Amino acid sequence: MAMSLLCPIDFRYGRPKMKGLFEEESRLQRLLDVEAALARAEAKVGLIPEEAASEIARKATTKRITVKRVQELEEETRHDLMAVVLALTEACEGDAGKYVHLGATSNDILDTATALQLRDAIRLLEADIGDLTGVLAGLASKYKRTVMLGRTHGQAAVPITFGLKMAVFASETARHRDRLREASPRVVVGKMSGAVGTGAAFGPYALDVQPAVMRDLGVGMEEAATQVVGRDRYAEFIAVLANLAASLEKFCTEVRNLQRTEIAEVAEAFETKKQVGSSTMAQKENPVASENVCSLSRIVRSLVTPALENVPLWHERDLTNSAAERIILPHACVLIDEMLARTAEVFRTLRVYPDRMKENLEATKGQVMAEAVMIALVGKGLGRQDAHKLVRETAQKARTKGIHLRDALLAESKVTKVLSKKEIEAAMDPNAYLGESYAIVDAVVKRVR
């Protein structure tokens, strides 16, 4: 009988490497890794025999401790971590089993295993962000001089370049990479300090066991714990991913807008021979990948609320965080990994139409050069406010008559008294009004690469 799948992550979203970090067998192996590290640390300080620690470590593998056996024991005990402890205990030969999990509480193992998962997830996400940043930086360089309309409030503003737009995006992804790296030492943290964080069960060796375990595993250490690692750490991690998700939606929303039929300045790649845009409208080429990223972004951002609500637990802890974390941590990592890869592919294969950008610029009949004319008038001694009023009124006349702003300016004596025809023509050139766009692009590309 075929397995029935419910969650879309099981069959539709997510890439193998990231999903693999959170699958049951992978999670079990990390729990066993922590138990093995605990045994080694205890042997090192003399709490348990070295041969017992070696035996525990040898058996702490999913080749010996199966998911199936752990599930069977959990049905009996109704305790997920105790099932792992019992499975490992029964697998150990001699008297090594009696030393398994000595002095530890469940979340010493659970939270430290989570640190291992998050460490590996962050490494994958850093690589993803690096890939996307590189793609955006490449577009910034390639289209550094490609002039297009800048738009504010959905309206034509002043000229920019497509390269500058991409440099803005690349700079933003680089900031997210920095945020993830900065948060990592606070997020990738385990604990080995017992039932309420005192380490009492480890006796005089408490301050030796915990750092030894964490050094062994290569993760940070909770300096002052309750029964659990502070959930502010996980809340920060989810918030960083939610912020990243918001930026990915921003980038993909820009693609969707620029792909509108009436704008048509860029478009997602489309496999013309096989890909179908619509089941009925045969002409359609829709920005479906960008729309998918925007849709998933809403899910990732929604995970911030339960992450924050997991912070205020009762006293030294309760269990209200547990079920939520089983959902939000893997979902956040798997979905943001998918979104980063999909966004990178959108921009890597993006179809860019400079000619259409030029057409849209020219279609404004010079209106977008109004600021440049105002600045030129100010440069000739006219007051800024007077220049603004004069150009605004002239631009309105041009729109009303449906003529080019250049012609309206040449017909306005108040303008021609200050600017010559040649100076007006110069002020109307979009290519001459890009400020330091080229230098900004160069600086961003140099920094993010």
Active site residue 153: yes
What does the H/E/C string look like for the chain? CCCCCCCHHHHCCCCHHHHHHHCHHHHHHHHHHHHHHHHHHHHHHCCCCHHHHHHHHHHCCCCCCCHHHHHHHHHHHCCHHHHHHHHHHHHCCCCHHHHCCCCCCHHHHHHHHHHHHHHHHHHHHHHHHHHHHHHHHHHHHHCCCCEEEEEECCEEEEEEEHHHHHHHHHHHHHHHHHHHHHHHHHHCEECCCCCCCCCHHHHHHHHHHHHHHHHHHCCEECCCCCCCCCCHHHHHHHHHHHHHHHHHHHHHHHHHHHCCCCCCCEECCCCCCCCCCCCCCCCCCCCHHHHHHHHHHHHHHHCHHHHHHCCCCCCCCCCCCHHHHHHHHHHHHHHHHHHHHHHHHHHHCCEECHHHHHHHHHCCCCHHHHHHHHHHHHHCCCCHHHHHHHHHHHHHHHHHHCCCHHHHHHCCHHHHCCCCHHHHHHHCCHHHCCCCHHHHHHHHHHHHC
Marked catalytic residue, from 153, 279, 315, 413:
153
Active site residue 315: no
Marked catalytic residue, from 26, 106, 193, 278:
278
Catalytic residue IDs:
153, 278
